[in-house]
Structure 1
Amino acid sequence: MESDVDRIEPPGDRANRSASRLIQNEATTEIPVHLLFRDEPGPRPGPVRLGPAVVASRQGTGEQPRYRRRVPAPAARPAPETDPALVERPARVLPGAVGVIAGACGTAGCVLTSWWAGALPPLAVAALRLPAGAGAGLGLPQWAAYAGAGVLGLSGIGGLTRGRTGRAWVLGLFGRYAGTVRRTGLLWVNPLARRRRVDVRLRHWRSEPMPAADPGGVGLRVAVLVVWRVRDTARAALGIDDHERYLRECVEAALLRVPVEAPGGAPGAADAAEGALTRLVARDAEPVGLEVFRVRPARVEYVPEVAAAMHRRGVAALDARQRATMVTSVVDSVEDTVTRLTTRGLVELDDYERKVLVRDLTVAFCAGRRGPGPAVGMDMFN
Structure 2
Amino acid sequence: MQEKKPWVINGFVGLLGLVAVDVIGTLLLIDKEWPALAIVLALFSIALLSSLTIVQPNQAMVVTFFGSYSGTIRRSGIWMTIPFSVRKKVSLRVRNFNSAKLKVNDIEGNPIEIAAVVVFRVVDSAKASFDVDNYEQFVEIQSETALRHVANKYPYDTFEDGGYSLRGNSDEVAAELARELQERLSVAGVEVMEARLTHLAYSTEIASAMLQRQQAAAIIAARSKIVEGAVGMVQLAISQLQREGVIELDEERKAAMINNLLVAIVSDRSANPVINTGSLY
TM bracket, shorter-chain basis: 0.7 to 0.9
**Counterpart among 226, 230, 236 of residue 118 in structure 2:** 226
The aligned runs of 1:334-345 (5 Å cut-off) are 334-345=234-245
Q: Name 2:189's counterpart in structure 1.
A: 289
Q: Name 2:3's counterpart in structure 1.
A: 88
Q: Name 1:215's counterpart in structure 2.
A: 107
Q: Name 1:180's counterpart in structure 2.
A: 72
Q: Are positions 1:169 and 2:69 aligned together?
A: no
> 1:237, 1:179 → 2: CA distance?
12
Identity percentage of aligned residues? 26
Q: Name 2:52's counterpart in structure 1.
A: 160
> 1:284, 1:357 → 2: CA distance?
66
Q: Are positions 1:353 and 2:246 aligned together?
A: no
Q: Deviations over 1:17-75 (max 9, x none)?
A: xxxxxxxxxxxxxxxxxxxxxxxxxxxxxxxxxxxxxxxxxxxxxxxxxxxxxxxxxxx
**Counterpart among 257, 261, 266 of residue 154 in structure 2:** 261
Aligned-pair Cα RMSD in Å: 3.6
Q: Name 1:251's counterpart in structure 2.
A: 143
One-letter amino acid of the counterpart of residue 96, structure 1: G
> 1:225, 1:176 → 2: CA distance?
36
How far 1:181 sits from its partner (Å)? 1.7
**Contact map agreement 1:102 1:157 (CA 8 A) in 2:** no
One-letter amino acid of the counterpart of residue 336, structure 1: L
Q: Deviations over 1:186-211 (max 9, x none)?
A: 32123422211112355553322223
Q: Are positions 1:98 and 2:8 aligned together?
A: no
TM-score by length of 1: 0.57
Q: Deviations over 1:144-169 (max 9, x none)?
A: 73x55544444444433344553211
Aligned with 2:60: secondary structure? strand
**Contact map agreement 2:135 2:188 (CA 8 A) in 1:** no
C-alpha change, 1:245 and 1:306, in structure 2 (3 Å) is farther
**Contact map agreement 1:205 1:244 (CA 8 A) in 2:** no
How far 1:294 sits from its partner (Å)? 5.6
> 1:248, 1:236 → 2: CA distance?
14
- 5+ long unaligned stretches in structure 2: 273-281
How far 1:353 sits from its partner (Å)? 3.4
Q: Name 1:312's counterpart in structure 2.
A: 212
How far 1:111 sits from its partner (Å)? 5.4
**Contact map agreement 1:262 1:301 (CA 8 A) in 2:** no
**Contact map agreement 1:106 1:151 (CA 8 A) in 2:** no
Aligned with 1:99: secondary structure? helix
One-letter amino acid of the counterpart of residue 98, structure 1: V
Q: Name 2:84's counterpart in structure 1.
A: 192
> 1:355, 1:306 → 2: CA distance?
46
C-alpha change, 1:349 and 1:343, in structure 2 (3 Å) is same
How far 1:337 sits from its partner (Å)? 1.7
One-letter amino acid of the counterpart of residue 7, structure 2: R
Point out which structure has higher relative CO (alpha carbons under 8 A, 6+ apart): 2
C-alpha change, 1:287 and 1:239, in structure 2 (3 Å) is same
Higher Cα Rg: structure 1 or 2?
1
How far 1:287 sits from its partner (Å)? 3.1
One-letter amino acid of the counterpart of residue 53, structure 2: T
> 2:144, 2:250 → 1: CA distance?
70
One-letter amino acid of the counterpart of residue 92, structure 1: W
Aligned with 1:180: secondary structure? strand
**Contact map agreement 1:101 1:156 (CA 8 A) in 2:** no
**Contact map agreement 2:131 2:187 (CA 8 A) in 1:** no
Query: Which has a greater percent of strand?
Result: 2
TM-score by length of 2: 0.74
C-alpha change, 1:169 and 1:363, in structure 2 (3 Å) is same
Query: May I ask how many residue pairs the two structures share in their alignment?
Result: 264
**Counterpart among 302, 309, 314 of residue 202 in structure 2:** 302
Q: Are positions 1:242 and 2:139 aligned together?
A: no
**Contact map agreement 2:97 2:140 (CA 8 A) in 1:** no
C-alpha change, 1:255 and 1:163, in structure 2 (3 Å) is closer
